[in-house]
Amino acid sequence: MEDLQSLAIIWIAVFFAHYAAGKTKLTPVLWFLAVGCILVNLGLLPREPSVFIKGFAEIGIIVIMFALGFEENSSDFMRSIKRSWGIAFFGAVAPFSIAYFICFYFWRDVNGALLCALAMTATAVSLTMVSLKSEKLHTSSAATGIMTSAVLDDVAALSLVAVLVPMATTGIDVSFLSIVLVTVKALGFFLLISIMATWLFPVDSGVLARVPLLNRFNLRDLITMQKGEHAILSVLLLALLVALLGHEFGFHPAVGAYMAGLIIKEDYFVVVKTSQSQTSTVFEETRQAVESVAFSWIGPVFFIVLGTQLVLDIPIFIRVIEETLLLTSCLFVGQILSAGLAARYTGKFNWQESWMIGFGMLGRAELAFVVMDIAYRQHSIINDEMFYTLMFTAFLLNISVPVCIRWWKPHFLKATLPMQDP
């Protein structure tokens, strides 16, 4: 019953967060994080979420990222990768370097500083994309640039995890073969996604459509089974399976779910080929149901649980105020400048889009907490002060994402109004 009580408290908090967001004109994500923090420090939610709540939150982020990919144009996403390599590279090198030198300056611990730097490297794309969604900017070119850069960042961050964690925990040099293996696994995952897009949902003109047996295996039949009555279940099952596949290849499940959303198109919801209105109805009903699940009652649980990660220990908080403020301010400036300038000069985005990308790369969540858990709880590589500095910094950066996006939105729309539909 305790799990159900926690879920009831969280859902009540979701209502409050939506109400507060409407009154303050701020994105609900900001309120989700704040409410989670308040509830855990008041003792209304446990400091360590139960297995049930953790699993529920994990489902939430999977559905959120699937919903965002579902609305994205896969062709735009692939084109954006060519523009986003510089954002991913410079947008990762800058925070890694800043965090390393600041942490080494304060604590003089090479291994601890390396893992602190790694924790502060990868972008929390789910937080940014939901913030953009709340501002109706999630289909903009800047949002696509953020997402593709974050995917590339994930590949690089996973490679660094494979290299730095064993080095820091055992002191053993990592072989070149292990680095290559991580890279091959990442490339293999995206290759499988490409195969799924051309095989599981074949088109009449596709290469695999002419191959015996393979051309008979078509997931579109599953979506349109019994006139599309089970379309919602079909797409959510696909999202979960691809999320699990991504996890097996070393990615956060949310990345796999996003890719699953990318490969689904409205054409796959054709129930009766002669009835375009029926097709649109099935697609719209599915899209609305997925959005409801993602942004109304399951997805928000992830962000509230994320907010509960910030447990206030007053004595430690006082001791790390200087470190937290310096690390947060330096990462804030360094991340925006590195990602924004890279977007402008390597991605050829305009200045308004470039700064929006810079703001969107500020969040720190999934990988940051995984690395902190490895370094602090599992191997005790970082001390209490390092851990709380990283936690407070991540929380402040996460809060800055929806605030900065809301603040920059008028400037962004003014420059992109002829191209975007606000």
CATH of the domain at 124: 1.20.1530.20
pLDDT score for 6: 94
Question: Residue range 210-224: average pLDDT?
Answer: 64
302 in any annotated domain = yes
Confidence of residue 101 (pLDDT cuts 50, 70, 90): very high
421 in any annotated domain = no
pLDDT score for 148: 84
Percent of the chain with pLDDT over 70: 81
- The average confidence (pLDDT) of the chain is 82
Burial class (CB in 10 A: 0-12, 13-18, 19+), 51: exposed
pLDDT greater than 90 at residue 339: yes
Choice between 126 and 402, residue whose per-residue pLDDT is larger:
402
Highest mean pLDDT among 156-170, 270-284, 335-349: 335-349
Choice between 392 and 306, residue whose per-residue pLDDT is larger:
392
pLDDT greater than 80 at residue 207: no
Choice between 204 and 65, residue whose per-residue pLDDT is larger:
65
> What does the alpha-carbon distance between residue 91 and residue 364 come to, in Å, rounded to a whole number?
13
Query: What are the counts of helices (DSSP H) followed by strands (DSSP E) for the chain?
Result: 19, 0
Highest mean pLDDT among 21-30, 41-50, 194-203, 225-234: 41-50
Lowest mean pLDDT of 32-36, 80-84, 174-178, 322-326, name the range: 174-178
294 in any annotated domain = yes
pLDDT score for 370: 67
Percent of the chain with pLDDT over 90: 28
pLDDT score for 169: 65
pLDDT score for 216: 58
pLDDT score for 171: 61
* In contact, 113 and 386? CB cutoff 8 Å: no
pLDDT greater than 70 at residue 406: yes
Question: Residue range 264-284: average pLDDT?
Answer: 65
Choice between 286 and 79, residue whose per-residue pLDDT is larger:
286
pLDDT score for 200: 66
pLDDT greater than 90 at residue 344: yes
pLDDT greater than 90 at residue 117: yes
pLDDT score for 271: 64
* In contact, 402 and 24? CB cutoff 8 Å: no
Question: Residue range 149-175: average pLDDT?
Answer: 68
pLDDT greater than 60 at residue 320: yes
> What does the alpha-carbon distance between residue 123 and residue 336 come to, in Å, rounded to a whole number?
12
> What does the alpha-carbon distance between residue 168 and residue 109 come to, in Å, rounded to a whole number?
11
pLDDT greater than 50 at residue 314: yes
* In contact, 154 and 252? CB cutoff 8 Å: yes
118 in any annotated domain = yes
Q: If we measure between CA atoms, which residue out of 108, 168, 172 comes closest to residue 378?
A: 168
Total of domains in the chain: 1
> What does the alpha-carbon distance between residue 274 and residue 354 come to, in Å, rounded to a whole number?
44
* In contact, 291 and 232? CB cutoff 8 Å: no
pLDDT score for 196: 77
Residue 212 is part of which domain span?
A: 2-136+143-416
pLDDT greater than 70 at residue 214: no
Q: At what angle do helices 125-134 and 28-41 cross, to 10 degrees?
A: 120
376 in any annotated domain = yes
Choice between 202 and 407, residue whose per-residue pLDDT is larger:
407
pLDDT greater than 50 at residue 205: no
34 in any annotated domain = yes
pLDDT greater than 70 at residue 215: no
342 in any annotated domain = yes
pLDDT greater than 50 at residue 129: yes
pLDDT greater than 90 at residue 52: yes
pLDDT score for 274: 46
> What does the alpha-carbon distance between residue 111 and residue 379 come to, in Å, rounded to a whole number?
11
pLDDT score for 294: 87
422 in any annotated domain = no
Question: Residue range 189-208: average pLDDT?
Answer: 68
